[in-house]
Amino acid sequence: MSLTTQQPPAAAPKNVNRLGLTMADYKGAESTLCAGCGHDAITSQIIKAFYEYGVEPHRVAKLSGIGCSSKTPAYFLSKSHGFNGVHGRMPAIATGVMLANKSLISIGVSGDGDTASIGMGQFVHLLRRNVPMIYIIENNGVYGLTKGQFSATADLGSKAKSGVMNDLPAIDVCTMAIELGCNFVARSFAGDPKQMVALLKAALGHRGTAVFDVISPCVTFNNHEGSTKSYKYAKDHEELLHEISFVPFFEQITVDYSDGETSDVELHDGSHIRLRKTDKGYDPTNKGEALDTLRKCQELNEFLTGLIYINEMKPDFLTLLNMTDEPLATLPQERVQPKEDDLREIMAELM
């Protein structure tokens, strides 16, 4: 996300961000989700991250598919344009939006059904293209909106409320994303607001597809004993990669980061991600290590959270297309319509 280059206001008043906006400016309509739904927790953290980062709301495009999760863009950033499309096809819409206006900051919210079931094909190709956007999967292992059927991320052996067991293996969207060349892959948990906000801000500093898989329990259909996507199970099986904090490009890096306990990753927009290693020691810029770690955790039925993989060197799709700097959407007629002489030349060729 190439962000504004505005400077921070000299002495920012309290309760406003560097743009002078309040948290309320980043809120949306009231949620109609079930009380306690993980998705609402994510919505709150999106609001917080965008507020703290100081994103200009009018530059944001909120995109989604269909599902409880896909409804949430209506619940944050009401000053941004939003587009709630059809089931599983948000990636195509997002691609079109970014082609039309590269100056936008796209944030997509999808569900596990929306992404990993019906949407798998488009998800794969979005990653392959590396379309710049934040892509959040609010992952609850079920189809919430259609009342609790298993999705393709439901874990092998997870029990439905009805007692039926899922006997197909889960699709791991993070592994998939890394394999497909995605250069920002993170995972978090709706019950961990702090980590989520740091990762969301990091995603804002990144340019390319930032995949953010968030375990987001469905309190109505998948929060019971036997479920592997419940609050309790997630808490019990979380495997934290690192403590993560975020230093935005407009803040001075003050702490010394040669300290062996932390490592720093510089993002595309000049912001920094600071990782305080847990006992494991983990290098999120190493693709092989990322994949191995994911695989190992999978085998142990643990779920890994943190910044799993990052690579700030890979060009995004719009860069590959070598497009002009201004948004295509609003180029004036003079620029996009060749001249009369051009047509004459073409016609002459065809005579």
CB of 69: closest distance to ligand TPP in angstroms? 3
Reading the block at residue 320, the tokens are 């590959």
How far is 31 from 48, CA to CA, in rounded Å?
A: 16
Q: Would you give the binding string for its own copies spanning residues 83-122, x where CB under 8 A is met?
A: ----------------------------------xxxxxx
For 347, the 3-state DSSP assignment is helix
Residue 344 binding its own copies, by CB under 8 A:
no
For tokens 């994103």, the residue is 55
Binding residues for ligand TPP, total number by CB under 6 A: 18
Stretch that binds ligand TPP, among 98-106, 144-152, 229-237, 266-274 (CB under 6 A): 144-152
* Closer residue to ligand TPP, CB minimum distance, 42 or 60: 42
Choose from ligand SF4, other proteins, Mg ion, none: what does 92 bind? Cβ within 5-8 Å by kind: other proteins
Residue 185 binding ligand SF4, by CB under 6 A:
no
Reading the block at residue 198, the tokens are 């740091």
Residue 112 binding Mg ion, by CB under 5 A:
yes
Sign of CA dihedral 13, 16, 20, 24: negative
Residue 260 binding its own copies, by CB under 8 A:
no
Reading the block at residue 78, the tokens are 């009401």
Residue 288 bridge partners (DSSP): none
Residue 111 binding Mg ion, by CB under 5 A:
yes
Residue 67 binding ligand TPP, by CB under 6 A:
yes
Q: In this structure, what DSSP letter does residue 115 have?
A: I
Q: What is the 3-state secondary structure (H, E, C) of 44-106?
A: HHHHHHHHHHCCCHHHEEEEECCCHHHHHHHHECCCCEEEECCCCCHHHHHHHHHHHCCCCEE
Residue 221 binding ligand SF4, by CB under 6 A:
yes
Residues 209-268 that bind Mg ion (CB under 5 A): none
Choose from other proteins, ligand TPP, Mg ion, none: what does 253 bind? Cβ within 5-8 Å by kind: none
Task: Report whether 278 contacts 243 (CB < 8 A).
Answer: yes
How far is 76 from 70, CA to CA, in rounded Å?
A: 12
Residue 148 binding Mg ion, by CB under 5 A:
no
Reading the block at residue 35, the tokens are 């009380």
Q: Which of 74, 77, 104, 145 binds ligand TPP (CB under 6 A)?
A: 145
Q: Which residues bind its own copies (CB under 8 A)?
A: 117-122, 124-125, 128-129, 152, 167-169, 171-172, 175-176, 179-181, 287-288, 291-292, 295, 320
